[in-house]
């Protein structure tokens, strides 16, 4: 079984595996539908069987019950302590404690390894809670041991600064859209300065949603040089650029291909080349209305 390297988070002594399997995008359920979707459970089971131990879920994906079934079916083989389960809070931001209880129940676990505020874009008046207040609530859940680490997603420097002013426990992770066509050096620098791990989603966008682009030829060349697929080159780039990468697939062969990126590494000059050529194009896919670009 593949051993996935980890990065130590800035609190709780928790270690996050550098590659995670996402339950969003492809597996996201558009409407609250109590009927369980066996395809989602099967995909999560395939990921667990292949060796993924880091699972990225969210209240908003509406599929925590399906992930919960996959987790319980693997529990005889994979001890809870070997899993890294993330979930996120957004729609229920007004009541983090109840939201977490509901998520834990659906996932069938006593705690999650990482609890993230999914995005900073809610209307604070309408929801009756500010970013600072929400963060303090997450700190309370952390104190109770219901979450091993706390963090955010889609936060910018200004949002992180608001948290910094009130935080007893700093955010451990900021999960953001990030790939060669959406680099954010200022935010990364802020993360590095404050010990926040950058977890990235959408790592494959340069080949799935932003072609043609200036990197097409470079990725092809690197695929030949390393004898790896374009998917693997981009996942490996995300890791070698210093991030935790979240990806997903409904196909067993691609799930295995993704995990196999732990078996090679890009040379520094190739990491830099992708970084440099990637800056020639900018392409955001998620939360485009909120980021206004
Ligand atoms: N925090 C947030 O706001 C946020 C937002 C978005 C996503 N996320 C998280 O990040 C996870 C991954 O996001 P993502 O889906 O954008 O990740 P991604 O890794 O960029 O893309 C995965 C998708 O690309 C497809 N794919 C892989 N290789 C391909 C290839 N060579 N050609 C064509 N298609 C290919 C896969 O399809 P197949 O199924 O066919 O393999 C899969 O649907 C989500 O599941 C979620 O957990 C978080």
Instruction: Give counts: helices (H), strands (E), the chain.
Output: 13, 10
139 alpha carbon – ligand 1 mean position (Å):
30
- Residue 61 designated active-site: yes
For a ligand 1 pocket test, name from 246, 252, 287 the mutation site with the most ligand atoms within 8 angstroms of its C-beta: 246
CB 43 within 8 A of CB 251: no
26 alpha carbon – ligand 1 mean position (Å):
7
pLDDT at 32 over 80: no
pLDDT in tens, 37-88: 999 999 999 999 999 999 999 999 999 999 999 999 998 789 999 999 999 9
Q: What percent of the chain has pLDDT over 70?
A: 99
Nearest Cα to Cα of residue 90 among 64, 61, 125, 133 = 61
118 is in an annotated binding site: yes
Quote the distance between the C-alpha of residue 217 and its chain's center.
Answer: 28
Residue 208 Cβ contacting ligand 1 at under 6 Å: yes
190 alpha carbon – ligand 1 mean position (Å):
26
CATH class of this structure's domain 6-204+242-263: alpha beta
Nearest Cα to Cα of residue 151 among 255, 283, 58, 265 = 58
Residue 223 Cβ contacting ligand 1 at under 6 Å: no
Q: What is the pTM of this model?
A: 0.98
pLDDT at 194 over 90: yes
The residue extents of the domains of the chain are: 6-204+242-263
- Residues 108 and 103: their CA atoms lie apart, in Å, by 8
The DSSP bridge pattern shows strands 15-17 and 6-8 to be antiparallel
- Residues 29 and 51: their CA atoms lie apart, in Å, by 25
Residue 155 main-chain phi, psi, to 5 deg: -90, 145
pLDDT at 1: 67
């Amino acid at each position: 079984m593949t051993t996935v390297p980890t990065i130590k988070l800035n609190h709780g002594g928790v270690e996050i595996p550098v590659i995670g399997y996402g339950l969003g995008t492809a597996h996201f359920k558009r409407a609250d539908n109590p009927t369980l979707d066996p395809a989602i459970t099967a995909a999560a089971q395939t990921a667990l069987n292949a060796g993924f131990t880091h699972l990225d879920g969210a209240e908003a994906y509406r599929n925590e019950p399906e992930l919960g079934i996959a987790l319980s079916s693997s529990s005889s083989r994979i001890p809870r302590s070997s899993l890294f389960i993330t979930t996120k809070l957004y729609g229920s931001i007004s009541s983090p404690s109840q939201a977490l209880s509901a998520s834990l129940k659906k996932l069938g676990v006593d705690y999650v390894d990482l609890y993230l505020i999914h995005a900073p874009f809610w209307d604070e008046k309408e929801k009756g809670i500010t970013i600072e207040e929400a963060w303090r609530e997450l700190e309370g859940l952390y104190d109770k041991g219901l979450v091993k680490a706390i963090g955010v997603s889609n936060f910018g420097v200004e949002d992180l600064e608001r948290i910094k002013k009130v935080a007893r426990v700093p955010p451990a992770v900021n999960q953001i859209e990030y790939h060669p066509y959406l680099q954010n050096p200022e935010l990364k620098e802020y993360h590095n300065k404050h010990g926040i791990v950058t977890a990235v989603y959408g790592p494959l966008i340069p080949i799935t949603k932003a072609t043609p682009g200036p990197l097409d030829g470079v990725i092809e060349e690197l695929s030949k040089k390393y004898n790896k697929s374009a998917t693997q080159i981009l996942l490996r780039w995300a890791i070698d650029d210093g991030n935790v990468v979240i990806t997903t697939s409904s196909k067993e062969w691609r799930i295995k291909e993704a995990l196999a990126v732990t078996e090679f590494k890009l040379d520094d000059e190739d990491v830099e080349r992708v970084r440099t050529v990637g800056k020639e194009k900018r392409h955001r896919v998620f939360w485009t209305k909120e980021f206004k670009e």
